[in-house]
């Protein structure tokens, strides 16, 4: 559990330093992939 939390904080630090436009594109891509999976 501690390792997972440490990795999450590291990932968040990198994400926080990412430009807002890049973050928006990433989140839009993730949303598109989720929608493509459909309901089941």
Tens-digit pLDDT profile for residues 1-40: 999 999 999 999 999 999 999 999 999 999 999 999 987 6
Which residues have C-beta within 8 Å of that of residue 26, sequence separation ≥ 6? 18
Domain that holds residue 31: 2-37
Domain count for the chain, please give it: 1
| b/e map 4-33, b = 16+ CB within 10 Å | eeeeeeeeeeeeeeeeeeeeeeeeeeeeee
Q: Give 28-35 contacts, CB < 8 A, sequence gap 24+.
A: none
CA atoms within 13 A on the CB side of 20: 0
DSSP state of 38: T
Tens-digit pLDDT profile for residues 10-20: 999 999 999 99
């Amino acid at each position: 559990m501690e390792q997972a939390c440490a990795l999450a904080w590291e990932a968040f630090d990198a994400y926080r330093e990412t430009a807002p436009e890049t973050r928006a594109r990433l989140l839009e891509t993730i949303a598109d992939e989720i929608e493509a999976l459909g309901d089941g």
